[in-house]
Chain A
Amino acid sequence: MAEELSVVGKRLPRPDAAEKVTGAARFVGDIKLPGLLIGKVLRSPHAHAKVLKVETGKAERLPGVKAVITSKDMPRKLFNAAFWNMCLADPEKAGEIQDQFIFDNKVRYIGDAVAAVAAVDEQTAEKALALIRVQYKPLPAAFTPEEAMKPQATRIHDFAEGNLCWPHVPFPFGAGEVEKDFAEADVIVEDTFYCSRQKHAQMELDACIASFDAGGRLTVWSPAQLMYLARRKMANFFDIPEGRIRWITPYTGGGFGGRLAFNAEPICIGLAKKAGQPVKLEYDRHEDFVAHDSRTPHKMDFKLGFKKDGTLSALKIKLLADAGAYLGQSGMTTAVCMAFGLGHYRCPNTAGEMTIVYTNTPPTGGMRGYGNPEAMWALEQLMDVAAEKLGLDPLDIRLRNYKKVGEPSALLLPIQSLALEQCVEAGAERIGWKEKRALTGNGMKRRGVGMATMTHCSGAAPLLLEHGNAALKLNEDGSVNLVVSPTEMGQGILGVLAQIAAEELGVRIEDVRVVLGDTDATRFDIGSHASRTTFVTGNAVLGAARQAKGKLLERAAPMLEASAEDLEVRDRRIYVKGSPDKAISVADVARDAIYNYQQNCGQITGECDWESKVVSPPGQACFAEVEVDTQSGEVQVLRLVLAHDIGRAINPTNVEGQIEGGAMQGFGYALCEDFVVDTRTGETLTDSFTAYRLPSFLDLPEIEGIMIEEPDPVGPYGAKSIGESSLVAVAPAIGNAIYHAVGVRIKDLPITAEKILKGLKQK
């Protein structure tokens, strides 16, 4: 795109920022309704037990209690909490397993829901919970995959023999002949890596409000990331037609994949149904840790075969995942982990096997990166191991094996664009790769640099349904109402879509008012996941704006005594190309379309339904510089440089914000976030921010984001995604840097001083 853009590419303030800095922005927990009841959930103190009896009489009779629900009040339907199954024609074939009831006759982890109440205030609800008598029959429990797979282990789900949810499933997209190639490989590197249950730890706690009106129509307020899919799921579950449910997602206070599955919604709706009054169910932070999913932890066996010159020729991955008590999103995350692990580099012979095990621990699921950070933790460290064995620079071994445009991506379809080499080059230069790699330290504190790369996706095509929509109208003053349905959870999509619309229509960003988050007002969109909204919804917005622009210029043409093809719109003015002083305003034309007294009305509108049929993967190279205290094992990350292949930065400030924010989540994943379940009791030990450490301002390294802009042929204005990417390569870059500094390789997350010191001693 050679022409100068006036809105896209500019560092414009987000439209939602003003509300957020003044406290006016409403999240679900801020919403009040007349007659709103407070809901609370009774949770199991046992890791594994039969629920023999639930006596609710006393609770029901407590003044102020309006509803008590147990398994008999909820549909007895099996389901899987994740929404993604709606995106598949045949979810069962893809390995999804429906293994949950709302309130089952069994509890499977400490924190599993048993019953719930709705009362006039929190105090009464708490008293009511204490009056519910549950008779449990404890069963033996297993807290690690190894324990759960033992022959004598008690079955957690009746259908899962050996507690295997996915028993050794081969990855369906392998290629070539892996074993044969290993036999002929010049160099083989293999090792076992472990990744952890990182928590989303979004600041906004889960909340839901459900309200049935007099006619039985349900309105739900929820922070769900995929509102239409959430609605459909609840429609199926409660046997309510979709059209009789209005789903509203106001601002969401952080998603990171935590809101791709049900949290408070089903129970909240059940309570509202029984109470006949609106109910608000809010979690506290303990519940967020215990009853809300996390990244799925994996044991990962990677084996790579190389030719002497560093060409990767065989790659085999075995994944053992801990699903926790219910499968949820763990299947999808494991499959995506496998896909990126096998598909990041060009490799003619690939094979994989996935095993997913149930344990009596909180369910695991998916988090930002969704399997990709997990895979790169192993893969990108092994690439360095291979480089060392082959006497190659870590950059060179990677450059040799990157896929090129047109080759099949990790998600099978051909790569539309990729500027990974430029990312590597730019990042290496910025961090001073050559000089710093050459340094060897002998002091008490030693520095090192390391790097890792990744590719991700801009939407989940072709694996999952990719469908977005946009509609807009021009008001009489030339302003625009843009109606879309992503979830604004901080990534800035509201502003990005406004910028795209404004650019195409020739108006300013402040002229575009974005309407989102209401299934009564918006059209279908999958929502915010898989880094899709700029690419897919953005293209829908572009299409809608183009259509509207066409109508605008058609109507303007006779007013300017010109033909529509000769017209241009810029900064609210329409004029003949080359003659900007003879112009009419967008407002004039828009008004004429509404208040036309010559029987020529036709409000300027645009709409576009867009499906993605391509894979446009963003790429990123992350470089880390660290300093290790060889006496204490402590590592300080001095600097992170992340060079990102963005295609086009619709809003550079936004992209940087995503690079920096993702990098700090990657930092946390690498170094300090550790979700710990006591393997003797099944109790979650890290159930607060006191115990589960998020990085604070004081842990911040120097972070520099570099945006590489090589426009993608399909992305709107050439844009690809950034949403998940920045988390992916940070941990292995840090791991590789530590190895460079002190020759110790950490294989299980998080990297700790204890592990580094142990490694130093073993040398």
Chain B
Amino acid sequence: MKKEIAEFLVNGRPYDVILEAHKTLLEVLRDRLDLTGTKYACGTGECGCCTVLIEGRPVLSCLTLAVTAKKKKITTIEGLANGGLHPLQKAFIDYGAVQCGFCTPGMILTAKTLLDETPQPTPEEVKFALAGNLCRCTGYVKIIQAVLAAAQAMKRGEK
């Protein structure tokens, strides 16, 4: 099959990747760019562990052909904060919203989208926004608390 040199823009950095059309974005991120923070957990789009942001929108990288993400702004968990921690990352740590950590990268990125769209969400809005992200460990309670706390911190202007 045809190979091309494809340009990807991930976490603010350009990458040139020798790409075949049948590669998913998740494979490119993990196998070619060594960004292993984004995880493969179900392959059917049910769990959200592979979530990354493309132009600020949350997408399932395991169901995205890499070839359709060329030249678009991609954010993975590694690029959420430039050195230091995003208020969401800090809140997840402080509120015990991380247990095994496998769902965490996808969860945080989806939560970021929520806070971008709705800076002061209600608990219901948090639940709706994260409904496509499964967690088997935490029982969800502390994740909701962490997102609400991060929203408060961001309102106070904390970085």
Complex: A in contact with B (CB within 8 Å): yes
Instruction: Give the B-binding residues of A (Cβ under 8 A).
Output: 11, 13-14, 16-27, 29-30, 32, 200-205, 251-254, 256, 284-285, 489-492, 653-654, 656-657, 659-665, 688-690, 694, 696-698, 700, 703
- Interface status of B89 (Cβ within 8 A of chain A): yes
Is the contact region of chain B dominated by helix, strand, or loop, or is it mixed?
Answer: loop
- Interface status of B25 (Cβ within 8 A of chain A): no
The digit string for B98-129, where 1 denotes a CB below 8 A from any CB of A, is 11111111001000000000000000001110
Q: Out of A201, A657, A698, which one reaches B131, CB within 8 Å?
A: A698
Closest to A21 in B: B89
| Docked-complex contact A703 and B46, CB < 8 angstroms | no
Return chain A residues, CB-CB under 8 Å to B138: 657, 660-661
Q: Out of B36, B95, B99, which one reaches A661, CB within 8 Å?
A: B99
Docked complex Cα distance between A204 and B44 (Å): 15
Return chain A residues, CB-CB under 8 Å to B96: 11, 13-14, 653-654, 656-657
List CB contacts (< 8 Å) of B112-159 with chain A.
126-128, 130-144
| Docked-complex contact A285 and B44, CB < 8 angstroms | yes
Q: Smallest CB–CB gap between B3 and chain A, Å?
A: 14
Return chain B residues, CB-CB under 8 Å to A688: 42, 44, 46
Return chain B residues, CB-CB under 8 Å to A22: 37, 77-78, 80-81, 85, 89
Return chain A residues, CB-CB under 8 Å to B69: none
Docked complex Cα distance between A339 and B133 (Å): 37
**Among A688, A696, A697, residue most surrounded by chain B Cβ atoms (within 10 Å):** A697
Return chain A residues, CB-CB under 8 Å to B95: 653
Instruction: Give the A-binding residues of B (Cβ under 8 A).
Output: 30, 34-44, 46-47, 49, 76-78, 80-81, 85, 89, 92-96, 98-105, 108, 126-128, 130-144
Q: Out of B78, B133, B139, which one reaches A660, CB within 8 Å?
A: B139
| Docked-complex contact B139 and A662, CB < 8 angstroms | yes
| Docked-complex contact B139 and A203, CB < 8 angstroms | no
Q: Smallest CB–CB gap between B79 and chain A, Å?
A: 9
Q: Out of A251, A665, A700, which one reaches B127, CB within 8 Å?
A: A700
Docked complex Cα distance between A656 and B77 (Å): 26
| Docked-complex contact A252 and B100, CB < 8 angstroms | yes
Closest to B77 in A: A23
Docked complex Cα distance between A661 and B96 (Å): 12
Return chain B residues, CB-CB under 8 Å to A16: 98, 101
Return chain B residues, CB-CB under 8 Å to A30: 30, 36
Docked complex Cα distance between A665 and B42 (Å): 18
Docked complex Cα distance between A30 and B127 (Å): 29
| Docked-complex contact A203 and B131, CB < 8 angstroms | no
Return chain B residues, CB-CB under 8 Å to A656: 96, 141-142
Docked complex Cα distance between A664 and B141 (Å): 10
6 closest residue pairs by CB, A with B:
A23-B37, A490-B100, A20-B101, A660-B139, A253-B102, A490-B99
Cross-chain pairs A/B with CB under 8 angstroms, 28 sampled:
A14-B93, A20-B101, A21-B89, A21-B98, A21-B108, A22-B37, A22-B81, A23-B35, A23-B36, A23-B76, A24-B37, A29-B39, A202-B102, A203-B134, A203-B136, A204-B100, A251-B101, A285-B42, A285-B43, A662-B139, A664-B140, A688-B44, A697-B126, A698-B127, A698-B131, A700-B127, A700-B140, A700-B141
Docked complex Cα distance between A660 and B44 (Å): 26
| Docked-complex contact B40 and A29, CB < 8 angstroms | yes
Q: Smallest CB–CB gap between B157 and chain A, Å?
A: 21
| Docked-complex contact A664 and B139, CB < 8 angstroms | yes
A285-B44, A653-B96, A689-B46 in contact; A21/B142 too (CB < 8 A)?
no
| Docked-complex contact B131 and A489, CB < 8 angstroms | no
| Docked-complex contact B41 and A203, CB < 8 angstroms | yes
Return chain B residues, CB-CB under 8 Å to A653: 95-96, 142
Docked complex Cα distance between A18 and B92 (Å): 9
Docked complex Cα distance between A273 and B99 (Å): 35
| Docked-complex contact A21 and B104, CB < 8 angstroms | yes
Docked complex Cα distance between A284 and B62 (Å): 12
Return chain A residues, CB-CB under 8 Å to B92: 17, 21
Closest to A14 in B: B98
Docked complex Cα distance between A389 and B132 (Å): 45
| Docked-complex contact B99 and A491, CB < 8 angstroms | yes
Docked complex Cα distance between A285 and B80 (Å): 28
Q: Out of B37, B80, B100, B141, which one reaches A251, CB within 8 Å?
A: B100
Q: Smallest CB–CB gap between A655 and chain B, Å?
A: 10
A23-B35, A256-B136, A660-B138 in contact; A202/B100 too (CB < 8 A)?
yes
Q: Smallest CB–CB gap between B82 and chain A, Å?
A: 12
Q: Smallest CB–CB gap between B159 and chain A, Å?
A: 15
Return chain B residues, CB-CB under 8 Å to A663: 139
Closest to B129 in A: A697
Q: Smallest CB–CB gap between A34 and chain B, Å?
A: 14
Return chain A residues, CB-CB under 8 Å to B99: 490-492, 657, 661
Return chain A residues, CB-CB under 8 Å to B144: 697
Docked complex Cα distance between A631 and B133 (Å): 31
Docked complex Cα distance between A204 and B105 (Å): 13
Return chain A residues, CB-CB under 8 Å to B136: 200-203, 254, 256, 661, 665, 694
Not counting A22-B85, A205-B41, A697-B140, a sample of 12 additional A-B residue pairs whose C-beta atoms are within 8 angstroms of each other reads A20-B104, A21-B77, A21-B105, A29-B40, A252-B100, A491-B99, A662-B139, A664-B140, A690-B46, A696-B133, A697-B133, A698-B127
| Docked-complex contact B44 and A689, CB < 8 angstroms | yes
Docked complex Cα distance between A658 and B14 (Å): 41
Q: Smallest CB–CB gap between B90 and chain A, Å?
A: 8
| Docked-complex contact B101 and A661, CB < 8 angstroms | no
Q: Smallest CB–CB gap between A255 and chain B, Å?
A: 8
Docked complex Cα distance between A433 and B139 (Å): 24
| Docked-complex contact B141 and A660, CB < 8 angstroms | yes
Return chain A residues, CB-CB under 8 Å to B132: 696
Q: Smallest CB–CB gap between A221 and chain B, Å?
A: 14
Docked complex Cα distance between A253 and B126 (Å): 24
Q: Smallest CB–CB gap between A133 and chain B, Å?
A: 27
Q: Out of B78, B127, B128, B139, which one reaches A23, CB within 8 Å?
A: B78
Docked complex Cα distance between A492 and B47 (Å): 22
| Docked-complex contact A203 and B38, CB < 8 angstroms | no
Q: Smallest CB–CB gap between B140 and chain A, Å?
A: 5
Q: Smallest CB–CB gap between B69 and chain A, Å?
A: 18
Return chain B residues, CB-CB under 8 Å to A27: 39, 102
Closest to A205 in B: B41
Return chain A residues, CB-CB under 8 Å to B47: 203, 689
Q: Out of B102, B133, B141, which one reaches A204, CB within 8 Å?
A: B102
Docked complex Cα distance between A29 and B141 (Å): 28
Closest to B92 in A: A21
| Docked-complex contact A661 and B85, CB < 8 angstroms | no
Q: Out of B93, B126, B137, which one reaches A254, CB within 8 Å?
A: B137
Return chain A residues, CB-CB under 8 Å to B126: 697
| Docked-complex contact B140 and A23, CB < 8 angstroms | no
Q: Smallest CB–CB gap between B108 and chain A, Å?
A: 6
Q: Smallest CB–CB gap between B125 and chain A, Å?
A: 11
Docked complex Cα distance between A154 and B123 (Å): 56
Q: Smallest CB–CB gap between B93 and chain A, Å?
A: 4
**Among B30, B92, B102, B143, residue most surrounded by chain A Cβ atoms (within 10 Å):** B102
Docked complex Cα distance between A669 and B12 (Å): 44
| Docked-complex contact A26 and B102, CB < 8 angstroms | no
Docked complex Cα distance between A25 and B37 (Å): 8
Docked complex Cα distance between A688 and B40 (Å): 14
| Docked-complex contact B43 and A284, CB < 8 angstroms | yes
Closest to B106 in A: A203
Closest to B127 in A: A697
Docked complex Cα distance between A657 and B96 (Å): 7
Closest to B49 in A: A203
A252-B100, A657-B142, A661-B99 in contact; A23/B43 too (CB < 8 A)?
no
Return chain A residues, CB-CB under 8 Å to B130: 697
A661-B139, A688-B42, A697-B131 in contact; A203/B94 too (CB < 8 A)?
no
Q: Smallest CB–CB gap between B124 and chain A, Å?
A: 9
Closest to B105 in A: A23
| Docked-complex contact A696 and B139, CB < 8 angstroms | no
Q: Out of A21, A200, A205, which one reaches B40, CB within 8 Å?
A: A205
Q: Smallest CB–CB gap between A638 and chain B, Å?
A: 15
